[in-house]
Amino acid sequence: MKTIITICMSICLFWANSLFAQQTITGKVLDGDTNDPLPGVNVMIEGTQEGVSTKTNGTFELKTSRTDFTLVFSFIGFETITKSVKGTTDLGTITMKPSLVYLSEQVVVSGTRRAEKITETPATIQVIDSRQINELPSFNAGELLSRVKGVEFVRSGVIGTGVNIRGFNSNFNAKNLQVNDGRFATLVATGLPFGPLSTNIKEDIDRVEVILGPNAALYGPNAHNGLVNTIMKDPRTSEGTTVALGAGNQNMFTGRLRHAQKINDKLAFRVSGEYTRGTEFEYADSVYITRTDNEGNAYRRGYEELELDNDFEFLRGNASMVYEVADNAELVATWGGSSSTYLAPTNVGRNQIKDWRINHYTLKFISDKWFAQAYLTTSKTDSTHSLDDRTKAYYAAIDAGVAEAEARGPMSYQTGALFIDDSRRFNAEIQHNNSIGDLDIVVGSQFQRDMANSHGTYLLDEDENDYITINQIGFYTQLDYKLGNGIKLTGAARGDYHQIYEFNFVPKGGIVKSFDNGAVRLTYSKGIAAPTILNMYGDLFSGLILGNAEGFTLADGSMVEPQRVEQIQTIEVGYKGKPSKKLFVDANAYYNMSKDFLSPVTVVGVTTQRGDTPIEEVQSGYGAYGGLVATYINFGQVDTYGFDLGINYALSNTLSLNFNYSYFDYSVDENNMENDFNNDGVVNKLDVLVNSPNNRAGFGLNYSGSKFFGTVFTRWVEEFDYFSSFQIAAKTQDLTYRGTPIVEDARSTDSWNYGPLGGFVNVDVSLGYRINEKFTVSGQVTNLFDAEIREFTASPFIGRLFNFEFKMNLPPIGSNKQY
């Protein structure tokens, strides 16, 4: 009993000291070349989320209860330095040297939800930094993902950019979680990343951290293959006004504005807005329709999509206010909104996205030990529709003798072409971090309530008042323990309870050995991907496609089991470091064990019940389909493996070379009929839709001087076959897909097979000039040699794109800075 009392008293004293004993650490940070003050330098206590940023005059003031720790000073474009603090309160002047090869010193937060050097985090993390974002002559920061090691970048048009990580891509990929400033940025019903629907404005983004592989232990379901975490700028360290105007071919125009200001020592705010428009590449995605001629003979031919609109338009806005409620504690209130119109590829064709509106409202509390947030995300569109299904409905109505106006109007939407979305999501999170000696602790909990409503257009809801509501809650913890000699152990675990899929346990563990200029690591992690509301409660094309949350009974009495979560387990080894002063190497190899894949839409046969409900009460088109249902099922087990290599070399402080290469492959037990997804008695590539090239590489030359800056980047993607539901891009082979032989440059049942994706070399070039500290001009050419590039199905060939940008930066209001 005495021992227990002693331990409890020690813990209480520890927490009391953490709460009440504080000291103030001060200093000033200068540019080592010019001796100018450096504003915005991150000053973090190593291994924690505790820290501040330097002010406009380079000074900082950090209040902390810690007495023996190390400060990490990091700033994009400069070598990171560390300072040991043992009783010293004034560190005096700290100088930081400019460098393009500072990668081993970057500080990240995505790997463990704590600030740490990128070499010491137990995950493969790539960073797109503020310098790269600022020097990109485009409104679309997503273009920079094409230069990231280990990322399978795809471009689906002028504005459509997306990523996949480590295989199993599709035209409806919800396995890579998108997080914007700690907020899940995914659609409620489909789970898809916002992508072009994002509310972010490029000038508001500080950096993007990309995790390769599962990180569900800390971020929850659907951080399955990877995570893209966008971190926004702090208005207190990014004061001033930025105006950007850009124009290019495809009728592209963009105008952006950002303003950030400190009102006083307690209060700061930022506001931003964007208007962008243009025209998509010319491309007609043929819709194949069976019709009857005058003699009653059936024939099938392709037609262009009905009333295709190639114009795109985006309107975005953000506002955020930061209020310091106490030393090392602040409240942050944020709003973001967007309205988007564009073309989006899908598994069955293309959707005409019409005025799709996203809004989010966030309130955060942030201190040195605590983080808490609550936010609401809403999604609304009234007239988005499937071009494929609308076109089919139109010609069916014409063949039935319906007048042109009616066939083109209401009749063309009756089979489910119209997608209305009126959904919302509420999230809440609380997290605490602390340290006990060499043990760092993070504990937290997340709650999510999805409320999806389609007004009965594509989900099994009935009207605008019938919300499909799904709750889930997760609890997570992570422990980091420093053994000494540069060795750190990491262990993390998450327990998740989903209203439909109940309890799942997700562990993670790793060991990192740090050296003077780098580190090696070994990690194990598990990821899960919960089926989306569309997978569970979808109702497409008058019930031909139905969600599978409850399972189906087939006409022969057999059962189609309800969906389960997908699972992946990953073992990974990696190295990050600087073998020499000018060389940075980042390499990793991994082995994934995946099971319970969630299939693409597949026909399961004639059904009599969905769960306990007769199918005729569920399927609105029962009279036409007679219970024939296509849905999503789990199947099989596949092992995948590969490695990624990144090399950066500084020719000077302003000129650098970078190279990246990735290899990916898979193995499957062809004798295990559980892997026979299409039930044809043979396990082959059409059962395991890897949809990834075996090899891809990139090479870049980057220059960033005081006046000129620019990049030449070359990307090679090996040719590969791709299958996604009705979409196919494959070379001719002795196989049949969905009842049709696979023949290149020919019709494939419902779409046209143009041949494999990839198989190209692409060169992008950009160049900019800083006229002075106020004005900058820049431009870029994407696909410089106008190579024939097709990166995605239901998408056009990507031609040459060029654009120019003018940017004006004004100092903060009241600043004495002169230009």
97: domain CATH number? 2.60.40.1120
| Residue 693 pLDDT > 60 | yes
Has residue 119 been placed in a domain?
A: no
Residue with more model confidence, 682 or 104: 682
Q: What is the mean pLDDT of residues 343-361?
A: 95
161 inside domain: yes
176 pLDDT above the threshold of 80? yes
Together in a domain, 85 and 137:
no
* Pair of tokens at residue 515: 């050296």
- Mean pLDDT check: name the lowest of 317-321, 516-520, 590-594, 800-804: 516-520
Do 88 and 227 share a domain, yes or no? no
Total domains present in the chain: 2
Q: H-helix or E-strand containing 740?
A: strand 740-741
What mean pLDDT comes out for the span 439-463?
94
Give, for 809, the enclosing helix (H) or strand (E): strand 801-810
235 pLDDT more than 50: yes
CA–CA gap between residue 675 and residue 683 (Å, rounded): 6
Q: Are residues 398 and 365 in the same domain?
A: yes
Average pLDDT, the chain: 88
Same domain, 351 and 466: yes
Residues 188 and 101 in one domain: no
Domain limit, last residue, from 76, 106, 136: 106
Is a pLDDT exceeding 70 seen at residue 11? no
Lowest mean pLDDT among 102-116, 204-218, 264-278, 713-727: 102-116
Residue 420 is assigned to a structural domain of this protein = yes
What is the pLDDT confidence band of residue 525, given thresholds at 50, 70 and 90? very high
Note whether 616 and 504 are same-domain residues.
yes
Alpha-carbon span 501 to 561, nearest angstrom: 13
Q: Single out the residue in 75, 106, 137 at which a domain terminates.
A: 106
The beta strands (E) that lie in 40-199 are given as 42-45, 51-53, 59-64, 68-74, 81-86, 90-96, 107-108, 116-117, 124-128, 152-155, 161-164, 176-180, 183-184
- The CATH number for 522's domain is 2.40.170.20
Asked whether residue 77 carries a pLDDT value surpassing 70, the answer given is no
The DSSP code for 795 is: S
- Report the C-alpha gap between 459 and 421 in whole angstroms: 10
Domain annotation covers residue 725: no
Q: How confident is the model at residue 652 (pLDDT cuts 50, 70, 90)?
A: confident
Of 367, 322, 435, nearest in space to 62 by CA: 367
Domain shared by 98 and 128, yes or no: no
- Helices marked H in 327-456: 387-399, 404-408
- Side-chain-side CA neighbours of residue 245 (13 Å): 3
Question: Strand runs (DSSP E) across 599-735, as ranges?
Answer: 602-610, 613-614, 628-631, 634-650, 655-667, 695-704, 708-717, 722-724, 727-729
Does a structural domain hold residue 440?
yes
Show the domain range for 84: 21-106
Q: Are residues 236 and 202 in the same domain?
A: yes
Is 229 a member of any domain? yes
Residue 106: its pLDDT value, please?
64
Residue 426 binned pLDDT confidence (cut-offs 50, 70, 90): very high
| Residues 181 and 255 both lie in one domain | yes
State the pLDDT at residue 107.
61
- Once rounded to an integer, what is the mean pLDDT over residues 709-728? 94
446 assigned to some structural domain: yes
Residue 693 lies inside a defined structural domain of this protein = yes
Does 213 lie in the same domain as 85? no
Q: What is the pLDDT of residue 9?
A: 43
Is 560's pLDDT higher than 70? yes
Q: Are residues 99 and 131 in the same domain?
A: no
pTM for this structure?
A: 0.88
> Are 620 and 677 members of one domain?
yes
Q: What is the pLDDT of residue 13?
A: 41
- What is the DSSP pairing of strand 161-164 with strand 152-155? antiparallel
Q: Is a pLDDT exceeding 70 seen at residue 771? A: yes
